[in-house]
Amino acid sequence: MMANTPNTATAAPVQENRKIRRFGMVINLDNCTGCGSCMMTCAVENNCAPAKEKITDRTGITLMRVFPVNDRQPMPVRQAGFVPMPCMQCEDPPCELVCPQQAVELDPLSGIVDQMPQRCFGCRYCMAACPYHARYFNWYDPEWPKGMEQTLNPAVAPRMRGVVEKCDFCHGRLHLAEDQAAIDGNDDYTYTPACVEACPTQAIVFGDLNDEDSEVSQLAKDPNSFRFLAKLGTEPKVYYYSEHEWRRNLAERDMNGNASRNEGKEA
């Protein structure tokens, strides 16, 4: 899919100087207080509707979702915290491979794994394939209380029932940045997704991983940074950071086996 040399010599050389970006994140888990600001602002930015009565935590749409986690020790010595999970924007996305009609694509210019709800016919194969549960299905049509549809963000199209959606790093904001850059006549833009802007403890750092000097690139290389399920080889572009070992240990499933895992959960 990458750009080949333009095959028509007369055409304007649009392609040559486009910068190839790899947007990514580093989320500092030690700073996350689990407030949920990222989830709320994400829902507002991306035109997610308030939940209907029947919707549950398993059918809801939370493109950014904060999971409560702990070290599975007994109370009261247990250590706990939160893991905010947007789409991991894998560089080798397992969801892209499986979509039968190219509704999922790894964007060549930004590295964003991108889901086109208008192309999607709702087979949900990508949801099964995603180990991060970052994909959400529209079990119903979205519905806003009367008048509230006026508050919708025009940079993002509302989705209809029967399609899958996911975090795409607030592409509406990326588009605005692109428009501005085009008017300004440069290709040197970046932007801030809603969750990054909203985090009250500035736990999320966002930027271009291709840019060696960016804060996000530097942080991603920190020995305390890690990625979830790295062994699956999906190459996520969302990194996590923690100075606490138990949090870093959340990255992979416990290879030593921990039989007490779901004890006390379902009695």
Partner 1 sequence: MINRSLLLFVAGAAVMLLAGWVAFPRALYRQVAQPLDFDHKAHTVTAEMECLSCHEYRYDGTFAGIPKIDNCALCHSEPLGETENERKLVDEYITPGKEIPWLVYSRQPINTRFSHSVHTERAKVECERCHGDHGKSETLRPYEYNLVSGYSRDIWGPSISRLRRQPHQGMKMDDCMGCHQERGAVAGCLGCHR
Partner 2 sequence: MAITRRDLLLFGGGSVAALPFTPIPYKLLDDVSIWTQNFPWLPVPVPGEITLASTTCTLCPAGCGLKVRRVNTRPIGITPAAGHPVSRGTLCPLAFGAHQLAWHPLRLRQSRMNGQDAEPAAIAAKVAEAVGAGKKFAILDERPGRAVSSLYRQAAAKAGGVYLTPRLEEEAPLAAIRALCGEGAPEFGFDLEHARTVLSFGAPLLDGWGVPGAMKLHWKGRETAFIHAGSRFSPTAQLAAKWLPILPGSEAALALGLARVLVDEGLAAKVNGLDHYRALLNQMPLNRAAEITGLKAETIAETARRLQAEGPAVAVGGGDLAGPLGRETEAAIAALNALLGAVGREGGLVARRALAADAADLAPATPLEEADAGSIGVLLVEAATAGTARPWKSIAAKLAEDALVVLLSPYNSGYATFAQAQVATPAFLESLEEAPTAPGAARHSFALAPAVLEAPETAVAPAEFLALVAAEAGWAGLSEATTESACRARAAAIHASKRGSVFSIEDASETKVSEIGSADELYSKLAAGAVWVDDAPAAAAPPAVTLPGAAEGERQRMLTAATAPVHGPGGEGALVAIPAAWTGNTASGVRVPLAGKLDQESLLRALPGEALIHPATAQRFRLKQGARVRVEAPDAQYLATVRFSDAVMQGVVEISPGETEALDLFASTHGGASRAVRVRLGRA
Partner 3 sequence: MTGTITKPAAIATVEKKWIVRGHERCSTARFMGWLAPWIGLLLLGLYATYLCFRYGLGETHLDNRFGFGLWIFLDLAVIALGAGAFFSGFLLYILKWKEIKAVINSAVVLGFLCYSGAVAVLAVDVGQPLRAWFTFWHPNTHSMLTEVTFCITVYLVVLTIEYLPIILKNRKFKSIPSFLVFEWELHKLMPVFAGVGVFLSFFHQGSLGGLFGVMRGRPFAFREGFSIWPTTFFLFVLSAAAVGPSFIILTTKLVEKITGKRLVKQDIYRVLAKTTGVLLTVYVALKSLDTLLWLNSTSIRAGVAPWEFYEFRPFGHATLFTEIVIFGMIPALLLLSRRLRERPGVITLGAVLACLGVVFNRFVMTIQTLALPTLSFDEFMIYLPNWVEYAVFGGVIAYAVIVYSLSYRYLNLFPQEMELQLAPKEVNDVSVR
Q: Site residues (CB under 8 A) for partner 3?
A: 52, 54-56, 58-60, 67, 69-70, 83, 94, 97-103, 119-125, 127-133, 135-141, 160-164, 228-234, 249-257, 259, 261-262, 265-266
Q: From the list 112, 134, 199, 219, which residue makes contact with partner 1 (rule: CB under 8 A)?
A: 112
Q: Is 176 left (phi over 0), alpha (psi -120 to 50) or beta?
A: alpha
Piece in contact with partner 2 (CB under 8 A), picked from 7-15, 63-71, 228-236, 249-257: 63-71
**Residue 143 near residue 123 (C-beta atoms within 8 A):** no
Least separation in angstroms between CB 98 and partner 1: 16
Q: Which stretch binds partner 1 (CB under 8 A): 25-33, 166-174, 205-213, 222-230?
A: 166-174
Q: Minimal distance in Å, beta carbon 11 to partner 2?
A: 29
Q: Which is nearer to partner 2, 167 or 209 (CB)?
A: 167
Residue 102 lies near partner 2 (rule: CB under 8 A): no
Is residue 92 part of the contact set for partner 2 (CB under 8 A)? no
Count of residues of this chain found to bind partner 2 when the rule CB under 8 A is applied: 65
CB of 188 to partner 3, least distance (A): 33
245 binds partner 2 (CB under 8 A): no
Q: Which residues form the interface with partner 2 (CB under 8 A)?
A: 31, 33-37, 39-41, 43-45, 47-48, 50-51, 55-57, 60-62, 65-68, 70, 75-76, 78-82, 118, 141-142, 144-158, 160, 176, 194, 197-202, 264-267
